[in-house]
Structure 1
Amino acid sequence: MPVGNPFDGDSPFARTSDLPYGLPPFDRIGSGDYRPAFAAGIAQHRAEIAAIGGEPVTFENTMEPLERAGTLLARVEGVFENLISTDSSDELRAVEAEVLPQLTAHFDAVLTDQALFARVAALHAAPEASWTTEQVRLVRRWYLDMQRAGAGLDAAGRARLAEINAELSVLGSDFRNKLQADTNALAVHVTDVGELDGLPEDAIAAARSSAVDRGLDGYVLTLSLFTAQPATASLTNRDLRRRVFEASVSRGGRGNEHDTRATLTRTVALRAERARLLGYRHHADYVVADQTAPSVEDVMTTLQAMVTPAMDNARAERDALTDLLHADGHDGPLQPWDWPYYARILAEQRFSIDTAGLRPWFELNRVLHDGVFAAATGLYGLTFERRPDLRGYHPDVDVYEVFDETGAGIALFLVDWYARPSKRGGAWMNTFVDQSHLLGTRPVATLNLNIPRPPTGSPTLLTLDELNTTFHEFGHVLHGVLSDVTYRRLSGTSVPRDVVEFPSQVNEMWSLWPALANSYARHHETGEPLPEGVLDALVAAEQAGQAFATTEILGAMLLDQAWHQRTVDDDPIGPDDVAAFEAESLAAYGVCLPELPPRYGSTYFAHIFAGGYSAGYYSYIWSEVLDADTVDWFVENGGLRRELGAKFAAELLSRGGAVDPMEAFAAVRGRPPRIEPLLERRGLTSP
C-alpha cells in the first residue's frame, strides 16, 4: 500500500527537488533541516518495508517495492553524506553524532527484518525462468546483504550485531573527524620564503593563500592524505622536507590532541567480533566473501608474489638515490623525506625531464575541457555544458550537464577542486542521485580533489599526480553517469569493492595519450605544446618510478590485511601497541624498508578506518590486473576510438552491478584477464 509523506511543514527534503535531475536545492537547506528530515525518512522507510506483502511471494510484490522504498531517506542521506565530507561544520558534526547511530540501527532493522528476509530467501531459492539477468542479480544481492547483516542469526545474535554496527558507525565518524582536524592542525607553517626554494611559484602562492585563510603570516603547506607529500619532491631545504614528512606520519599519533589510536584498535576488535558472530574466521574473510577474489588466501598469494621483486627494485633505487644524496653533500643514509626529492632528480638525469617544472602545461580548466572531457567525447560521445544557473553546495563547486551523442541530457556532474579546512583529505567520487529506470532517476555525480587553492586571479596548475588523479576520479564519474540499469541497488559503481577501481584506473591511460595531451598540455601563458620528447620521457619516468609506487602501496595493502586478519582469539592490541604492531607486521610480510614507508600509516589510514576499504585496500592491485589488460586492448585496437568506447560502455560501464564483473570484462576482452600486463607495467617481470 502507498505510504504518505510524514513531513509536517515545508522542509526542503519533503518532496523530490524540482531542479533538473533532482539536484538538491542547496540554497534552501540548513543544518537545522537534517534532524527532522532523517526522522521522517526513517519513519517512512520503516512503514514502506512493513507494507511489503502479498501471496504468493513474487518478484513484483517483493523486490520492486523494496527497491522503491526509502527514497526520502536516500534523498536526505545523499546530501548529508556529501556535505559532511566536503563542507563540514560543528553543527553538521553534531547532527552526525546524533543521527549516525539511529541510521545504523534502522538499516540493521531493515536488513534483519525476518518477514522480509523470508520473502527474499524464498525468491533466492526458487528464481523464475522468466526473470532477467538483472532481476536474478538483484535478488542475489539483497539476499547476500541480508544474510551478511545477520538476518539468519537468532534474536540474541541480531541484537549483539546491531550493537556492534552502531558502535562501528560512531567510530568511523570519530576517526574521520579526528583525522581531518589533525591534518588541518599539522599543516606546516613557514615564515621565511627562502625555505620554500624549489617549490614552483604557483605552489608558493598557494601556500601563501593557505596562510591567509588561516589568519597567519608567511606560508602554510597543507597535507595530502598520502604519507609522501607532494612538496617533498621539490623542496631543496632538507630540514623542511623532514618537517613536512614528520607532520604527515604523525597524524593521529601518540600525544596528539586528535589521537586516532584508541578509535582504530576498538574498530579492529569489533570487526573481528562481528566476523566471528557471522561465521567467518576474521574480518578479511567476511569482506572477501562479497568480492570477486575467491578467498583471502588468493589475495595474499597475489600480494606476496609481488613483494620480493618490488623490494629488489626498491633497494636498487634506494642505492641510486643514496648516491645522489651523498653527491649533494649529505652524509648518512637516505631518509624517507629524501626519496621523492632525489627520485625527481634521478628522473631528470635519466630522462632529461623536470617533472615539477611541467605544471605550467597542466592548467586545470584546459585539462578538464581539452583533456578529460575530450576523452569522454571521443570514447563515449559525451559532451558537457557548464550550468551557471544551477548552484552547488559550496561556492567552489561548478555544475555541468552531461549529454549523449544524440544531444539528450543524461546526468549532472558537480566538480569541487580545492582543499579547505571544512573538507576531508583525498580525492573521491560520490553521487547525490543514482540512476534507476524503475524510479525514473538520472545520475547526479560529484568529483572531489584537494588541490591547494591559488591566489585569486591566478591559474590552477596541476602536478603530475593531480593530473592523474583527475582522470582517475573522472573514471568513477563515467561509471556513474553512464549507468543504464533498472534497479538503484545495482546502479553505477555498485559493484564489488575489488573491481570498483577498474574503470577509473583504465581512464588514467588517457592522461598521457599523445593525441590528447598535445591538445590539452599547453603552456598556460604562451600556448606552446609540451617540448618534443617530453611525453615519451614522462611515460618512461612513470615506469621507472614503479619501485616506489609498488612498494608503498603493497605496504599499505598488507598492513590492511594484518589488522583485519586478527581474530577474537588474538591478544588484544591497545593504543600504545599500534606502532609496534604496524612495524612487526610489515617486517613479517617483508615490506619493511625504513626509507619507503607504506602509502598510509595506521593512524591516518582513512580508507580502512573511516571508509569502505577495510580488508579491501588490496582492490587497487586486484583491479589493476583488469585495468592493465584492458589498456592493452585499447592500445592494440587503436586507442581513443569511438567504437572501442561504445563497447566498453555497453558491456561494462553502463551495467553496474547488473552483470557479473568478470563476465563483463570477458565480454570486452574476449577472454578472462591475464596478470602479465600488470607485472610488466609494475616492472615485476624478469628482463
Structure 2
Amino acid sequence: MVNDNPLLVPTVLPYGLPDYAAIHPEHYLPAFEQAFAAHAAEISAITRVRSMPTFENTMVRLEESGKLLGDVSRTFYTVSSADATTEIQEIEEQLAPLMSAHHDSIELDSALFWRVKTLHDQLDDLGLEPEQRYLVERHFREMTHAGAGLDDDAKERLTTLNQRLSTLTTTFEKNLLADTNDLAIVFEDEAELDGLTEGELSAAAQAAADRGLEGKFVVTLTLFTGHPYLSTLTDRESRRRILEASRSRASRGNANDNRDVLQEIVRLRAERAALLGYDSHAAYITSDETAGSPEAVHELLRRLAVPAARNAAREQAALQAIIDAEPQPFALEAHDWAFYTEKVRAAEYDLDRTALRPWFEAERVLQDGVFRAATELYGITFTERHDLRGYHPDVRVFEVNDPDGGSLGLFLLDLYTRDAKRGGAWMNSIVLQSRLRGTQPIVVNNLNVPKPAAGRPTLLTLDEVTTLFHEFGHALHGLFATVTYPHFAGTNVFRDFVEFPSQVNEMWIFWPEILDAYARHVDTGEPLPHDVVDKLSASEAFNQGFATSEYLGASWIDQAWHSLSAEEAAADIDVVAFEASALAEVGLDNPVVPTRYSSTYFAHVFSGGYSAGYYSYIWSEVLDADTVEWFRENGGLTRENGQRFRERLLGVGGSKDPLEAYRDFRGRAAEIEPLLKRRGLES
C-alpha cells in the first residue's frame, strides 16, 4: 500500500530530508512505478489543454511536474552511489532502462515539444522576466538536443539506444566497483608498508579485519591511477603492486572486464550522435556546452599538452638523477614517480609533504578550515544536527544558516571509504531549492578517506584537504543557488562550467587566517610553521608537468573515444592500442607518466556525466585562476567579496548563461594567463 511506503508519503523531517531509517530496498521500485505514472499524468494534463500555449499553462506546469519522481530519484541515487549493497545494485540495474524510457517519453513528446516551440517562436512578444525567458530557451534547446524534432522511426531507434546505454553505464560502474574491491592489495608483513604513518597502518589493518584477514594489512584502491601511499612507501615492490593493481582494473579478462562494455558504449553514443545530426558524440555534447565544439576543446588541450609534456620530461630527468646517485641505480618507472618526487621536493624546497598529516586532522580541517572560510566569506554558520540521520551511520548532518539567522538548508558529509561506495569524491543534491515549489536545498559531499581504527584521529593528506575544500565548493553552489524554477536549481549548469565554483573554493586552503586556524598539530596544537607554508607556496608549480600531463592524457583519451564517427566506432578496437595511439598523437605517451584514468576504469566518462566532457576541469580552471586573481586584487577573504561572488555567480544557479554571469561578476571575459602561470606553462 502507498501509505506503507515512506517514499510515497511526505517526510516530516526538516527540509524534506528523507526518512532513511524507515526506507528499505524493497520500497524503491514500487515508489518509482508510482512516480513514473504520476509524472506521465502531469505531462498529459499539460498537452491535453486545448487553449494555445502560454508561459503559465505550459512552462510553469512543466516545472511543477515530476516532483515525486525527482524526490524518489535523488533519494535512491544518493544511496546507490555511496552505499551500493548487492540489493541496491540489482535495483539500479532494473531501474536504468526504465528511467531512460521515462525520460525519453517526456523529452521526445511531440505535443509537449510543439507547445514549448510555439512559445519559443514568439519569445520576444511574451514580455517575460529574464529567468522565465531563459527557461523557455533552455527547454526548447534541450528538447531539440534530445531529439524531439525527429520523426517517429528515428525516435523509436533513439529510445532503444538510450535504454541500452543506460544499462551499459550501470554495468560499467558495477564491474568497476567489484574489480576495485577484488584488487585491494593484501600485505602479510608490516615491513612491506614501511613509510606509512601509524594512522595509515591502522586503516590498512582495519580494512583487513573487515575482510576477515586479522593480522594482515589491506590497501584499497583510489579511483584515479595513482595512490597516495606511492609517495611514502619505501618498498619498491609494494609500490609496484599497488600501481599494477590500479592500472589493471576491469581489464583482466574476468567477469568484471569493461573493455567490451566501453566499446559498445562508444559505438552506441556515436550512432546516437549521427541520428541526431552530429559527426560524433563529442560534437553532440559540446554543442550544448560553453565550449561549443570539439575543435575548441582540442585547441585548448593541444595548447597545454606541449609545455606540460616538456615540463614532465624535465621533472623526470631530475628524478632519474637522484636514482642514479643511489648505490643501486635503476630506470625510473611509473610506480617510482611519487616517491622520488618527494625526495626532489625535500632537496629543492626542504619540504616533506608526507610529514604534514599531523597538521591536517579531519575535524579541525572541516570546522576551522572549510566551514570557517565559508563563514568569513559569506556569513553562513553550521550546526550539527545529531537528531537527524543520513543514509549510512558515517553520514553527518549539518544545518546551514544565513547571516541573519534564517535557515538556508542542510549539508551532509560522508567522509570515509567503504566497499559499497564508488570511488572518487563528489557532491549531489537530495532536495533542490525552488521558490515555485517552496523547497530549500539539501546537499551531500562524499569523499573516500581511509577510516582509522576506533579512537584514532583521521589525519588527511594535503590532497585530501584539497578535495574537501573542492567538494564543498560544489556544496556552496548547491546551497546558494536561489531560483524560482527547479530546472535551474543548484549545480544544474553547463558541464564545463560546473567545476568552476568548486575550484575557486580551493583558494582558501592556504589563505593565511584560514590555514592558521585549521592547520594545527593534532597532539600539540602548534600551527603549521610559517617556513613550511612559505615552502608550500614556493613549490606551487612543482611537479605540475606530471600533474597536468596525467590529467590532459585522460582528457584526450575521452575526446579520442568520443570523436569517433559512427563508422569508425563500429570497428573492433583494441583498447590498449587505441589509448597508446591517442596519447602519442598529442605527445603525452610517456610510460612513466600514466594517464590519470585508463578507459576501463574511467568512470567519469563511461558511467558518470562527463562523457566527452572531462576537459571541463581545465576549461573551468581558466575561469577559476582568473577569479583568484580578482579576489587577490580586491582584498581577498571579505564579506563584500563573498557577497558579490554569491549574488552574481553562485546564486544564479543555472538561470543565466554562465559566461554572461562570469562577465557580470568579473567585469570582463576570463583570461588564460593566470592558469598558465599557475601550472608553470608560460611560453
TM-score (norm 1): 0.98
In structure 2, the residue matched to 1:621 is 618
In structure 1, the residue matched to 2:67 is 71
Residues 332-371 of structure 1 mapped to structure 2, 5 A cutoff:
332-371=330-369
Displacement of 1:125 after TM fit? 1.2
What secondary structure is seen at the aligned counterpart in 1 of 2:566?
coil
In structure 2, the residue matched to 1:598 is 595
* Aligned mate of 2:15, from 8, 12, 21: 21
Give a deviation string over 1:497-548, Cα, whole Å, max 9, x none.
0010000000001111111101110001100001121112112223112111
State how far apart, in whole Å, the 2-side matches of 1:554 and 1:98 are.
35
Residues 525 and 323 of structure 1, relative CA distance in 2, 3 Å threshold:
same
* Aligned mate of 2:466, from 460, 465, 468: 468
State how far apart, in whole Å, the 1-side matches of 2:661 and 2:482 are.
14
Please say if residues 381 and 403 of structure 2, whose CA atoms lie closer than 8 Å, have aligned partners that are also in contact.
yes
Please say if residues 362 and 521 of structure 1, whose CA atoms lie closer than 8 Å, have aligned partners that are also in contact.
yes
Give a deviation string over 1:202-230, Cα, whole Å, max 9, x none.
11111111111111131111110111111
Please say if residues 626 and 673 of structure 1, whose CA atoms lie closer than 8 Å, have aligned partners that are also in contact.
yes
* Aligned mate of 1:140, from 133, 137, 142: 137
In structure 1, the residue matched to 2:417 is 419
Please say if residues 54 and 61 of structure 1, whose CA atoms lie closer than 8 Å, have aligned partners that are also in contact.
no
Give a deviation string over 1:289-330, Cα, whole Å, max 9, x none.
110013211111111011111111000000000111222334
State how far apart, in whole Å, the 1-side matches of 2:190 and 2:104 are.
54
Please say if residues 82 and 430 of structure 1, whose CA atoms lie closer than 8 Å, have aligned partners that are also in contact.
yes
State how far apart, in whole Å, the 2-side matches of 1:427 and 1:195 are.
28
In structure 1, the residue matched to 2:452 is 454
Displacement of 1:571 after TM fit? 5.8
In structure 2, the residue matched to 1:90 is 86
State how far apart, in whole Å, the 2-side matches of 1:99 and 1:527 are.
50
Q: Which amino acid aligns with 1:35?
A: L
What secondary structure is seen at the aligned counterpart in 1 of 2:34?
helix
In structure 2, the residue matched to 1:41 is 35
State how far apart, in whole Å, the 1-side matches of 2:281 and 2:431 are.
30
State how far apart, in whole Å, the 2-side matches of 1:433 and 1:113 are.
26
State how far apart, in whole Å, the 2-side matches of 1:243 and 1:529 are.
36
In structure 2, the residue matched to 1:525 is 523
Please say if residues 497 and 616 of structure 1, whose CA atoms lie closer than 8 Å, have aligned partners that are also in contact.
yes
Residues 139 and 331 of structure 1, relative CA distance in 2, 3 Å threshold:
same
In structure 2, the residue matched to 1:670 is 667
What secondary structure is seen at the aligned counterpart in 1 of 2:521?
coil
* Aligned mate of 2:288, from 287, 290, 307: 290
Q: Does 1:194 align with 2:188?
A: no
What secondary structure is seen at the aligned counterpart in 1 of 2:530?
coil
In structure 2, the residue matched to 1:115 is 111
Please say if residues 230 and 338 of structure 2, whose CA atoms lie closer than 8 Å, have aligned partners that are also in contact.
yes
What secondary structure is seen at the aligned counterpart in 2 of 1:26?
coil
Q: Does 1:173 align with 2:170?
A: yes
Please say if residues 250 and 257 of structure 2, whose CA atoms lie closer than 8 Å, have aligned partners that are also in contact.
yes
Please say if residues 265 and 573 of structure 1, whose CA atoms lie closer than 8 Å, have aligned partners that are also in contact.
no
What secondary structure is seen at the aligned counterpart in 2 of 1:432?
strand
Q: Which amino acid aligns with 1:36?
A: P
Please say if residues 414 and 444 of structure 1, whose CA atoms lie closer than 8 Å, have aligned partners that are also in contact.
yes
In structure 1, the residue matched to 2:325 is 327
What secondary structure is seen at the aligned counterpart in 2 of 1:498?
coil
* Aligned mate of 2:535, from 537, 543, 562: 537
Please say if residues 418 and 450 of structure 1, whose CA atoms lie closer than 8 Å, have aligned partners that are also in contact.
yes
State how far apart, in whole Å, the 1-side matches of 2:484 and 2:287 are.
25
When structure 1 is superposed on structure 2, of 675-684 and 562-571 the one drifting more is 562-571
Q: Which amino acid aligns with 2:297?
A: V
RMSD between aligned alpha carbons?
1.1
In structure 2, the residue matched to 1:402 is 400
In structure 1, the residue matched to 2:488 is 490
Give a deviation string over 1:583-605, Cα, whole Å, max 9, x none.
11111121111100111001100
Q: Does 1:58 align with 2:67?
A: no
Please say if residues 3 and 9 of structure 2, whose CA atoms lie closer than 8 Å, have aligned partners that are also in contact.
no
Counting matched residue pairs gives: 679
In structure 2, the residue matched to 1:563 is 561
State how far apart, in whole Å, the 2-side matches of 1:29 and 1:327 are.
61
What secondary structure is seen at the aligned counterpart in 2 of 1:311?
helix
Please say if residues 399 and 415 of structure 1, whose CA atoms lie closer than 8 Å, have aligned partners that are also in contact.
yes
In structure 1, the residue matched to 2:375 is 377
Q: Which amino acid aligns with 1:21?
A: Y
State how far apart, in whole Å, the 1-side matches of 2:81 and 2:538 are.
36
Please say if residues 270 and 569 of structure 2, whose CA atoms lie closer than 8 Å, have aligned partners that are also in contact.
no
State how far apart, in whole Å, the 1-side matches of 2:185 and 2:385 are.
37
State how far apart, in whole Å, the 2-side matches of 1:335 and 1:291 are.
38
State how far apart, in whole Å, the 2-side matches of 1:18 and 1:518 are.
41
Give a deviation string over 1:530-577, Cα, whole Å, max 9, x none.
1121112112223112111111101011010000000112163446x1
State how far apart, in whole Å, the 2-side matches of 1:329 and 1:650 are.
60
* Aligned mate of 2:584, from 579, 584, 587: 587
Q: Which runs of 5+ in 2 are unaligned?
A: none
What secondary structure is seen at the aligned counterpart in 2 of 1:240?
helix
Give a deviation string over 1:225-281, Cα, whole Å, max 9, x none.
111111101100001000000000000113233101111000000000000000000
State how far apart, in whole Å, the 2-side matches of 1:66 and 1:330 are.
70
Residues 358 and 212 of structure 1, relative CA distance in 2, 3 Å threshold:
same
In structure 2, the residue matched to 1:306 is 304
Please say if residues 262 and 574 of structure 1, whose CA atoms lie closer than 8 Å, have aligned partners that are also in contact.
no
Q: Which amino acid aligns with 1:672?
A: A
| Identity score, percent | 52
Please say if residues 266 and 569 of structure 2, whose CA atoms lie closer than 8 Å, have aligned partners that are also in contact.
no
Displacement of 1:440 after TM fit? 0.5
What secondary structure is seen at the aligned counterpart in 1 of 2:541?
helix
When structure 1 is superposed on structure 2, of 324-333 and 159-168 the one drifting more is 324-333
State how far apart, in whole Å, the 2-side matches of 1:41 and 1:114 are.
22
In structure 2, the residue matched to 1:126 is 122
In structure 1, the residue matched to 2:26 is 32
* Aligned mate of 1:610, from 593, 607, 611: 607
Please say if residues 380 and 642 of structure 1, whose CA atoms lie closer than 8 Å, have aligned partners that are also in contact.
yes
Structure 1: 4+ residue segments shifted above 4 A: none
What secondary structure is seen at the aligned counterpart in 2 of 1:158?
helix
Please say if residues 314 and 551 of structure 1, whose CA atoms lie closer than 8 Å, have aligned partners that are also in contact.
yes
Residues 179-328 of structure 1 mapped to structure 2, 5 A cutoff:
179-217=176-214, 218-328=216-326
What secondary structure is seen at the aligned counterpart in 1 of 2:40?
helix
State how far apart, in whole Å, the 2-side matches of 1:142 and 1:668 are.
26
What secondary structure is seen at the aligned counterpart in 2 of 1:255?
coil
TM-score (norm 2): 0.98
State how far apart, in whole Å, the 2-side matches of 1:568 and 1:319 are.
42
When structure 1 is superposed on structure 2, of 260-269 and 132-141 the one drifting more is 132-141
State how far apart, in whole Å, the 2-side matches of 1:574 and 1:86 are.
34
State how far apart, in whole Å, the 2-side matches of 1:129 and 1:278 are.
30
State how far apart, in whole Å, the 2-side matches of 1:256 and 1:464 are.
36
What secondary structure is seen at the aligned counterpart in 1 of 2:21?
helix
Give a deviation string over 1:1-51, Cα, whole Å, max 9, x none.
xxxxxx633210113211100000000100000111000000000000000
Please say if residues 186 and 247 of structure 1, whose CA atoms lie closer than 8 Å, have aligned partners that are also in contact.
yes
Residues 571 and 417 of structure 1, relative CA distance in 2, 3 Å threshold:
closer
Displacement of 1:129 after TM fit? 4.7
State how far apart, in whole Å, the 2-side matches of 1:467 and 1:452 are.
13
Please say if residues 200 and 356 of structure 1, whose CA atoms lie closer than 8 Å, have aligned partners that are also in contact.
no
Q: Which amino acid aligns with 2:24?
A: G
Please say if residues 120 and 143 of structure 1, whose CA atoms lie closer than 8 Å, have aligned partners that are also in contact.
yes
State how far apart, in whole Å, the 2-side matches of 1:656 and 1:104 are.
25
What secondary structure is seen at the aligned counterpart in 1 of 2:2?
coil
In structure 2, the residue matched to 1:3 is none
Q: Which amino acid aligns with 1:652?
A: L
In structure 1, the residue matched to 2:2 is 8
